[in-house]
Amino acid sequence: MISGAEIVIRCLQEEKVDCVFGYPGGSVLHIYDALFKQDQVKHILVRHEQAAVHAADAYSRSSQRVGVALVTSGPGVTNTVTGIATAYMDSIPMVVITGQVPTQYIGQDAFQECDTVGITRPCVKHNFLVKDVKDLALTIKKAFHIAATGRPGPVVVDIPKDITAQMCEFDYPKTIQMRSYNPVVKGHLGQIKKAVQILQEAKRPIIYTGGGVILSDAAGKLTQLARKLNFPVTNTLMGLGGYPATDRQFVGMLGMHGTFEANNAMHYADVILAVGARFDDRVIGNPEHFSGEKRRVIHIDIDPSSISKRVKVDVPIVGNVGDVVDEMLKLLDSGFKTDPEVADWWKQIEEWRGRESLRYKQENHIMPQYVVEKLYEVTKGEAFVTSDVGQHQMFAAQYYKFDKPRRWINSGGLGTMGVGLPYGMGVLMANPDAQVACITGEASIQMCIQEMSTCKQYGLPVKIINLNNGMLGMVRQWQEMFYSKRYSQSYVTSLPDFVKLAESYGHVGIKIEKPEDVEPALRKAFTEHKDDLVFMDFIIDPAANVFPMVAAGKGLTEMILAEDL
C-alpha cells in the first residue's frame, strides 16, 4: 500500500510525464513530499501559478505530450484560471492537479478553500473532485485520456489533502472505457466520397486549415493532400505551420489581419475545404457579408459542435483530421482530375498576391516587421516562436514563415497577454535544444515578467524580442482608426529599464535603437549568448500599425490596406 500522494506521482510516472510546472502550498504538501523522494518527474518551480499553467500548455503545444501543472488550493487555484481558460479556448490537452482542503472541511469556508470544480467548470473539458483514495488512480487515468483524445482540452483533478495521506493499493489501469465518452475518429466514408466529388468539380477552391491540423499531427498528410489537389491553402492564426508557409500554394493567414490574397480567395471560393478550423469571428469577418457568396463548404472536424456553428456546412465530416485525410488520399489515388478552370483561379490569386499586402518601409525607426524578418533569417526559420498578444503577435504571425507545425505558440482564442515568456519555458522543457524566441510587447511582457527568475533557476535561454512601442499598440491602433485618436489609457508610462531588469535577474539585456543594429543583436543573442536568456529591447516605430485589417463588422474583402493610407 502507498499513500495517495505517492499514487499521484506514480500515475505521472506511468503517463511518462517528465516534468510538471507548479507551486507548493498547504494542501499539496504530501504530494510535494512524494515528489521529493523520486527523480523521474522533474518539477519546475514557477513564480506565479498562472505561469505554471501557461508553461504546461506550451509544453503540450510544442510536443505531442500532455503538459501537467500542480498547484495548491484556494489562491493557487484561482491564479490558474486564466491559464486554464487560455488552453481551453485553443483546445490544448493539459492536466492540472489542484490541492483541496481535507474532505471533512469542504463547504465550511475552510482556510484556502475554494470551489475549484465550480470555478473551473466553464473553462475545462472536464474536471473531477476525488472523494475516495480508491478512485484516485482511475481518475488521473481518465484525466489524461480525456485531455488528449477527441477535441483536446484541459482537465482539472482536485484532490483533498486527507486523500493524499490515506493508504491504498496502487493499480494503474492500462486502458480505459467510458460509456459516456467515445469520441469519433474515423470519418463517415460516404461523406468523404461526397467531399472528394465536390473537390473534383471545384473551379475556385480553397483549403482553409486551422489548429485541428496541428493538434492531430496531420501537417504532413494535409500537405500531401494539398499538393495533390494543387489548391491554394490558407491557415488560421492557430493553424500556422500546418502547411509550409514558404510554399507557392500557401496564400498566407486569413482573417482580420490576413493577406489580401487569402481573404479574397476565401471569400470568392466556390468550394471551401475547412480542416480543423472553426470559422471564428476573427476569420470570416461579418457573417452576413461572408454568407453573401454562393459556395459549397466541406468541413472536417472532430467536434460536431464546431460544424455549422457559424457557417452552414454542406458536407460535414466528423473525425480526426489524420484519419479523414488518409481516406481522401486513398480516394484521390484512384484517378482525380482537377477542373481546368482552377488554372484561371490561380491567375486571379497571383494577381491578388501582386498587391503585396504585407509590404512595409524600413526607414529611420526600427519597424517591427523588420525585426521579425531578421529573426526569421537569423534562426533560418527553425525557431520555436512564442508570442504575447497585441500588434507584435500579428507581426510575428505575418512575417515569420512557419514551415513546420508546433513551432508557433500563441494564445488565439482567449488572447491572453502574458503568455509569451512562460510559453517559452514550456517549449524549452519539451524541446531542450531548441532555439526559442518570445516575441512580445512592453505591456504583455510585464504580465508574467517574474518568470525571468524561473528561467534563471533552470537555465532556460528564452530569447525575448521586446517590440517596444511604449504603447498598448493594438489598443492604440483601434483608437487611432475608430475612436478619432482619443488614446484613452493606451500609453505605458514609467517603463522599467528592461536591460537593467534582465541583468538584475542574472540575464543578458540589450537595447536596440537603430535599424542597423537589429541583425547583429539577434546574431549575438543566438550565437554568443546561445545558452543565456537574452532580453532584447527593440525600440520600434510607435506608429506602426498592423495591415491588412478587416475592421469589426466589415466583410472579409473590405480590408484596409497599408497602401490606402
Partner 1 sequence: MRHIISILIENESGALSRVAGLFSARGYNIESLTVAPTEDPSLSRMTILTSGSDEVLEQITKQLNKLVDVVKVVDLSEAAHVERELMLIKVRATGKDREEMKRMADIFRGRIIDVTESTFVIELTGASAKLDSFIAALDAGLILETVRTGVCGIGRGDRILKV
Ligand X SMILES: Cc1cc2nc3c(=O)[nH]c(=O)nc-3n(C[C@H](O)[C@H](O)[C@H](O)COP(=O)(O)OP(=O)(O)OC[C@H]3O[C@@H](n4cnc5c(N)ncnc54)[C@H](O)[C@@H]3O)c2cc1C
Ligand Y SMILES: Cc1ncc(C[n+]2csc(CCOP(=O)(O)OP(=O)(O)O)c2C)c(N)n1
The angle formed by the CA atoms of residues 536, 538 and 411, to the nearest 5 degrees, is 75
Q: Tell me, residue by residue from 187 to 216, as one string, x for binding to ligand X by CB under 6 A and - for no binding.
A: -----------------------xxx--xx
Select which of 1, 40, 104, 111 is catalytic. 111
Q: Decide whether 98 or 469 has the Cβ nearer to Mg ion.
A: 469
Count, residues near ligand Y per rule CB under 6 A: 19
Select which of 141, 142, 161, 374 is catalytic. 161
448: its cell numbers? 508574467
Residues 6+ apart with CB under 8 A from 297: 271, 272, 274, 311, 312, 313, 314, 315
Going from the C-alpha of 481 to that of each of 157, 444, 476, 545, the distances in angstroms are: 45, 22, 8, 10
Q: How far apart are CA 478 and CA 475, in angstroms?
A: 5
Answer yes or no whether residue 126 interacts with partner 1 by CB under 8 A.
Answer: yes
Q: Decide whether 10 or 145 has the Cβ nearer to partner 1.
A: 145
Which of residues 328, 417, 448, 508 is near ligand Y by CB under 6 A? 417
Which of residues 211, 212, 441, 555 is near ligand Y by CB under 6 A? 441
Q: Where are the alpha helices (DSSP H) in 291-383?
A: 321-333, 342-353, 368-378
* Phi, psi at 129, each rounded to 5°: -110, 120
Strands 296-301 and 384-387, sheet pairing: unpaired
Q: Decide whether 76 or 239 has the Cβ nearer to ligand X.
A: 239
Closest separation in Å from C-beta 346 to Mg ion: 39
Answer yes or no whether residue 105 interacts with partner 1 by CB under 8 A.
Answer: no
Which of residues 469, 534, 547, 548 is near ligand Y by CB under 6 A? 469
Look up 474 and say whether it is catalytic.
yes
Q: How far apart are CA 475 and CA 489, in angstroms?
A: 9
Going from the C-alpha of 280 to that of each of 75, 216, 354, 561, the distances in angstroms are: 33, 19, 27, 21
371 neighbors 538 (Cβ within 8 angstroms):
yes
Q: Tell me, residue by residue from 60 to 99, as one string, x for binding to ligand X by CB under 6 A and - for no binding.
A: ------------------------------xx--------
Answer yes or no whether residue 177 interacts with partner 1 by CB under 8 A.
Answer: no
Answer yes or no whether residue 442 interacts with ligand Y by CB under 6 A.
Answer: yes
Which of residues 25, 93, 239, 555 is near ligand X by CB under 6 A? 239
Beta strands per DSSP E along 140-269: 154-160, 167-168, 205-209, 233-235, 250-253
Encode 130-164: b = buried (16+ Cβ within 10 Å), e = exposed: beebeebbbbbbbbbbbbbbbbbbbbbbbbbbbbb
AA letter at 39: D
Answer yes or no whether residue 183 interacts with ligand X by CB under 6 A.
Answer: no
Is the previous residue joined to 93 through a cis bond, with omega within 30 degrees of 0?
A: no
CA dihedral 297, 301, 304, 310 (to 10 degrees): -50
Answer yes or no whether residue 565 interacts with partner 1 by CB under 8 A.
Answer: no
Answer yes or no whether residue 287 interacts with partner 1 by CB under 8 A.
Answer: no
Q: Which H or E run contains 386?
A: strand 384-387
Answer yes or no whether residue 121 interacts with partner 1 by CB under 8 A.
Answer: yes
The entry of Mg ion, partner 1, ligand X, none near residue 469 (CB within 5 to 8 angstroms by kind) is: Mg ion
Answer yes or no whether residue 320 interacts with ligand X by CB under 6 A.
Answer: yes
69 neighbors 83 (Cβ within 8 angstroms):
yes
131: nearest Cα among 89, 98, 99, 103: 103
Q: Where are the alpha helices (DSSP H) in 269-356?
A: 281-284, 287-290, 321-333, 342-353
Look up 112 and say whether it is catalytic.
yes
Answer yes or no whether residue 302 interacts with ligand X by CB under 6 A.
Answer: yes
Answer yes or no whether residue 257 interacts with ligand X by CB under 6 A.
Answer: yes
Which of residues 28, 196, 283, 534 is near ligand X by CB under 6 A? 283
The entry of Mg ion, ligand Y, ligand X, none near residue 388 (CB within 5 to 8 angstroms by kind) is: ligand Y
Which of residues 181, 268, 336, 458 is near partner 1 by CB under 8 A? 181
Q: Tell me which stretch binds partner 1 (CB under 8 A): 202-210, 264-272, 297-305, 482-490.
A: 297-305
Look up 384 and say whether it is catalytic.
no
Answer yes or no whether residue 442 interacts with ligand X by CB under 6 A.
Answer: no
Which of residues 46, 51, 114, 146 is near partner 1 by CB under 8 A? 146
Q: Decide whether 61 or 125 has the Cβ nearer to partner 1.
A: 125
375 DSSP β-pair partners: none
Per DSSP, 285 falls in state B
229: nearest Cα among 122, 345, 116, 151: 345
Count H helices and E strands in the chain, helices first.
23, 20
Q: Decide whether 25 or 212 has the Cβ nearer to ligand X.
A: 212
Answer yes or no whether residue 366 interacts with ligand Y by CB under 6 A.
Answer: no
Answer yes or no whether residue 385 interacts with ligand Y by CB under 6 A.
Answer: no
Answer yes or no whether residue 280 interacts with ligand X by CB under 6 A.
Answer: yes
Select which of 6, 15, 21, 49 is catalytic. 49
Which of residues 24, 232, 441, 555 is near Mg ion by CB under 5 A? 441
Which of residues 213, 215, 389, 436 is near ligand Y by CB under 6 A? 389
Strands 296-301 and 233-235, sheet pairing: unpaired
The entry of ligand X, partner 1, ligand Y, none near residue 236 (CB within 5 to 8 angstroms by kind) is: ligand X
- What amino acid positions are annotated as catalytic residues? 49, 111-112, 161, 474
Q: Which residues bind ligand Y (CB under 6 A)?
A: 388-392, 415-417, 441-444, 467, 469, 471-475
Per CB under 8 A, residues contacting partner 1 are 117-118, 121-122, 125-126, 129, 146, 151, 178-181, 303-305, 308-309
